[in-house]
Chains A and B, each alone.
Chain A
Amino acid sequence: MKRLLALLLTGMLLGASPARADTELTFYYPIAVGGPLTKVIDGLARQFEKEHPGIKVNPIYAGNYDDARIKALAALKAGQPAQISVLFSIDLYELLEQDVILPWDDIATSADDKDWLKAFYPALMANGTYKGKVYGIPFQRSTIVLYWNKDAFKEAGLDPERPPANWNEMTQMAAKLVKKDASGNVQRWGVMVPSTGYAYWMFQAFARQNGHDLMNKEGNRTNYAHPDVIAALQYWRDLGAKHKVMPEGTIEWGTLRQAFTEGKTAMMWHTTGNLTAVKDTAKFPFGVAMLPASKQRGSPTGGGNFYIFKKTTPEERNAALAFVKWMTTPERAADWSIATGYVATRPGAYETAKLKEYTAGFPQAVVARDQFNFATPELSTFQTGRVRKLLDDAIQASLTGQKAPADALKAAQQEAERLLKPYR
């Protein structure tokens, strides 16, 4: 009945005006970092509409990454139109399994389009490519970086311009940075690494630095129980339990930024997506560095990609392509990077005048990009929710002292094996 009515109405409209009807694009997007970013996205959509008459864009803010995926999938199931969405880069296998997305290669067919697909940093394409086809176009992408408080370094007698380069240095510096009051209560911790929400992501950095990735390329095998991986978790646990430079127990992702800007920890590991928010609130000079190395440097990439859904008309696909291409031009990538701290997704963006000027005055903004040389894709497998939670639980059990790292990771690996066997 509703559909009939809609048809009738459309018919009447078409009859009334011979002009081409607007193509409407609805897209869901998540925000996982601080700052008034919905305004920025709305502003970008309006600007695009102005430059592209005939296309209407409805951006819908959908909460965090999990919420966004749920809302987008629910909308699709309910038959509501959503042509594109920014979703977690690691949702790829889930979206494939649900058979709702298209490879961009199918739509981006002109020579110009093909060049566009190759314009991004290769490190950012790893999470969006499956069997040689590109499903995710990098948009808000990050790596983990180390933020340090230069005033605290000075106070502790350390060189404020030299962040720790490896694990040993980080432990030693952190020990010097711990500040206690007269009764022995800690006033400032040496370092904090968040372990709620995205514990597996932080742990990927430790594991990579210790020489290992946690999953294979096909997304059907995990590597949780390798001795070096266990040693990596042991190091994380020891920061709190043995060296006493980090609070014991888990550390909340959401409040860590405040803890850092209030001077309650001298160093923190956090997403580069928080860079602008830290810059705006920190009342002290701070530095941003690549994460320290053990056997090598390393950080997972993270963040969101543009996906296009199968249930779209050819006109909508063309409009979507135009929009996503526009959103990822070097200029837009530069704007978005400045507004958030996310990495600009393509080398060309760093050649634009505004980003050149910005990074000259704020060199912290290029650290995450330089870290791409050591980057690894974010943990993503088939059955990704379960496989990831196994690791999250193992990490939290170790950090809270409920289980030894080796026991926790071996149990997680065993369970992951069981889950992933059918996909080999």
Chain B
Amino acid sequence: MRHVYGWLLLLPAAVLLIGFTHYPAAATLLDSLFSSGTVVRPSRFVGVDNYAALADDPIFTQVLWNNFWFALGTIPASIALAMLMAIWVNDRLAARTLVRMAYFTPTILPMIAVANIWLFFYTPQIGLLDQLGALFGAPSHNWLGDPHTVMGCLVAMTIWKEAGFFMIFYLAALQSLPPELEEAAKIEGASRWYFFRRVTFPLLMPTTLFVLVNATINSFKLVDHLFILTKGGPNNASNLLLYYIYQVAFSFFDTSYAATLTVILLLLLATLALVQFQLIEKRVHYR
């Protein structure tokens, strides 16, 4: 009887987890083994054909690289910035609440709204960036229309958007550090930098791990801005894996190839998460 009771307690969570996580994942895997069907051409089993097609798809290779650069550009920078901002607003400075709020504002805005704002920052000539540049006599640049600068533009915007969110976690972690540590360090004559390097930073490691996992997932998950800013262009220079999945699924209506790409995305994220937990867990001090 207690057995049943336990299972009943587990039921709501299990139903949600299976219904919205495990079942879709399994269904996706299954779909990726079939061809896309329409009413006119029913779908049939094709085995690993869809996976073989990945190798011949130059856009797939390109979006993987793009995603790699996007992750590399956004993750370390936004984490470092978040930590810096958190330490800065953790101090007793004038108008502290105001500064904290200012840093947090980008997080509250929906990504679509943010992208619309930044679209007009980046627009050649009439955009904010070009108008600022014009004050110093810099020539106008087609920021989003140039394959060499478009990714940098997206990275900058994403860092701006993400850093404030991560700052909140660091701020919470900093507030929970016992003040005695700092007092003791002061008495011992430790420099601020030494104190940060040997005390604060190691104690923030659990937060860093959490933020790192989130930032990594976000770098694959966050594509809303592409709809507004570039639609993946020019010539796929800013296309990311998830946006490509969207294009394949809803613009090309090739649902099974989209399922194949989704399986790759799932594998990629699962691997990254495992590696992060395995490697970094060793260096994290939980109290």
> Chain A residues in contact with chain B, CB under 8 A?
66, 70, 94, 97-99, 183-187, 195-197, 247-252, 254-255, 258-259, 262, 264, 383, 385-386, 389, 392-393, 396-397, 399-400, 402
Contact = CB atoms under 8 A, between A and B. Distances in A.
Given A196-B234, A262-B125, A389-B251, 10 more contacts: A98-B253, A248-B142, A249-B145, A250-B144, A252-B119, A255-B126, A258-B126, A385-B253, A396-B233, A400-B237
Nearest to B144: A252
Interface stretch (B132-140, B155-163, B188-196): B132-140
B140 A400 contact: no
B50 interface: no
Contacts of A248: 142, 145-146
A385 B231 CA distance: 14
Interface in B33-54: 38-41
B237 to A, nearest CB: 8
Given A185-B139, A196-B231, A400-B234, A254 B145 contact: no
A251 B40 contact: no
Nearest to A180: B139
Interface in B92-130: 119-120, 123-126
Given A183-B137, A252-B144, A385-B247, A396 B252 contact: no
Contacts of B139: 184-186
B207 interface: no
B230 A264 contact: no
Contact of A393 (B38, B123, B236): B236
A383 B253 CA distance: 8
Nearest to B236: A393
A187, A248, A252, A264: which has the most chain B beta carbons within 10 Å? Answer: A252
A108 B254 CA distance: 34
A393 B147 CA distance: 12
Given A250-B145, A385-B253, A402-B147, A196 B233 contact: yes
Interface residues of B, number: 34
B123 A252 contact: yes
Interface of B: 38-41, 119-120, 123-126, 134, 137-140, 142, 144-147, 228, 230-231, 233-237, 247, 250-254
7 contacts: A187-B125, A195-B145, A196-B144, A247-B124, A385-B253, A389-B247, A396-B234
Contacts of B134: 185
A99 B40 CA distance: 7
A249 B234 contact: yes
A58 B125 CA distance: 42
B119 A66 contact: no
Contact of A99 (B38, B145, B254): B38
A402 B150 CA distance: 14
Contacts of A183: 137
B117 to A, nearest CB: 12
Contacts of A399: 234
A391 B4 CA distance: 60
Contacts of B250: 66, 70
Contacts of A396: 233-235
Contacts of B39: 97-99
Contacts of B125: 186-187, 259, 262, 264
A97 B40 contact: yes
A264 B38 CA distance: 47
A90 B247 CA distance: 17
B121 to A, nearest CB: 11
Contacts of A187: 125
Nearest to A247: B142
Contacts of A258: 123, 126
A258 B139 CA distance: 19
B98 to A, nearest CB: 33
B126 A196 contact: no
A99 B251 CA distance: 17
Contacts of A70: 250
Contacts of A247: 124, 140, 142, 145
Given A98-B39, A185-B139, A400-B234, A251 B145 contact: yes
Nearest to B133: A185
A255 to B, nearest CB: 5
B119 A255 contact: yes
A94 B134 CA distance: 47
Contact of A400 (B145, B228, B253): B145
Nearest to A198: B231
A70 B41 CA distance: 20
B38 A97 contact: yes
B251 A196 contact: no
Contacts of A195: 145, 234
Closest 7 CB pairs of A and B: A249-B145, A99-B39, A250-B145, A385-B251, A396-B234, A249-B142, A396-B235
A186 B130 CA distance: 12
A408 to B, nearest CB: 9
Contacts of A184: 139
B137 A385 contact: no
A224 to B, nearest CB: 15
A341 B140 CA distance: 32
B251 A249 contact: no
Contacts of B144: 196, 250, 252
A400 B147 contact: yes
Nearest to B38: A97
A73 to B, nearest CB: 9
